[in-house]
Amino acid sequence: MRVRYFGHTDVGMKRSHNEDAFLADPELGLFVVCDGVGGRARGEIASREAVDFIWEWFKREEQTLEQLAEEGHGPESVGKLCQLMRGAIQNATYMVHSLGLLNPDQRGMSTTASAFYVTGSLGIVGQVGDSRVYLSRDDRVSQLTEDHTLVNYQLKHGLITPEEAKKSRIRNVITRAVGHKDYVEVDTLPIPLFPRDRILLCSDGLHGYLDDKALANIMARDVQEAVLESIRFANGEGGSDNITSLLIEFVD
C-alpha cells in the first residue's frame, strides 16, 4: 500500500525551546516521534539522537527487511521484525546513555520513543515512554501503545480513578525512557493494515489534551490539515508542552 503522511512539531505556548523530534522516511517505511527529557536543551539532544540512531539501525538492516518482506508475514517473519524494532530502540537507549556519560552537560538526558515501521500490509509498533500511537479504522480510534508512567501504573492496579489521574501531580513522571539507563524494556506490537487506516504518532503535548471528540474531529480531516489542526487544538487548550503530531494514511 502507498502512504500519505505529514508531520509537524511546535514549541507550544509555555516552553522556551522544543525538545521533541520526529522522523518520516516513507521509502524505508519508518516513522518516529521522540519527546526529550532533561531540560537545558539536553532533552532536545536526546530526542534528536534517538531518532537518528533508530533510523540508522533500520537503514543498516535494509537488506534483511527486504528478505523478510519477500518471505511474507508469517509468525517467524513477524517475530523477527518485532525483534528488529526492539534492537533499534535498545541501541538508541545504549547510545544516548553513553553520550550522557561522556559529556557532563548531557548527563541524565533521556527521551520517549514511539516508532512505527511499515512493510506491505503490516505495521510494527515500538514503544518506550508516554508518547503515543493511535490507530483510526472505520471511524473508530484506538490507542495502540501503553503509557509507561507512574499514573498509568496506579490506574492499572486500581490505586486511583481516571478522574484522579487527570489531576495527579505525577502524571508526567515516566517509568521507562531511552537513555536514562543503558537498557530499557521495549514494547512491540504487530498490526495488520488496511486501506484507509490512519496511524497517529504524537507526544504528550498533544495527547494530554485529547478526548474522544477532539481525536475524532482531528482524524476526520485531510492528512496535512489534521496535523495542523492538532497543533492548533493543543495550543488553544494551553500549549503547556512541546507538541508533535505525525499522521500516516494508507492508500490502496
Indicate the domain borders of the chain: 2-251
Q: Which amino acid is at 132?
A: R
Neighbours of 252 (CB within 10 A): 7
* 109-132 pLDDT, tens digit each: 999 999 999 999 999 999 999 999
In this predicted structure, the answer to whether residue 168 has a pLDDT above a threshold of 80 is no
Q: Which amino acid is at 100?
A: G
pLDDT number for residue 135? 98
Task: Name the more confident of 151 and 55.
Answer: 55
Give me the chain's average pLDDT, please.
Answer: 94
Which of these ranges, 115-124, 159-168, 208-217, has the smallest mean pLDDT? 159-168
Q: Would you say 174 and 112 are in contact if contact means Cβ atoms under 8 Å apart?
A: yes
pLDDT number for residue 160? 80
Q: Would you say 59 and 66 are in contact if contact means Cβ atoms under 8 Å apart?
A: no
- State in words which class domain 2-251 has: alpha beta
pLDDT number for residue 39? 66
* 10-54 pLDDT, tens digit each: 999 999 999 999 999 999 999 999 999 866 669 999 999 999 999
pLDDT number for residue 172? 73
* 126-140 pLDDT, tens digit each: 999 999 999 999 989
**Which of 199, 205, 252 has its CA nearest to residue 233?**
205
- Alpha carbon distance 125, 44 (integer Å): 23
* 50-93 pLDDT, tens digit each: 999 999 999 999 999 999 999 999 999 999 999 999 999 999 99
pLDDT number for residue 108? 87
Portion of the chain with pLDDT greater than 70, in percent: 97
Identify the band that residue 224 occupies on the pLDDT scale cut at 50, 70 and 90.
very high
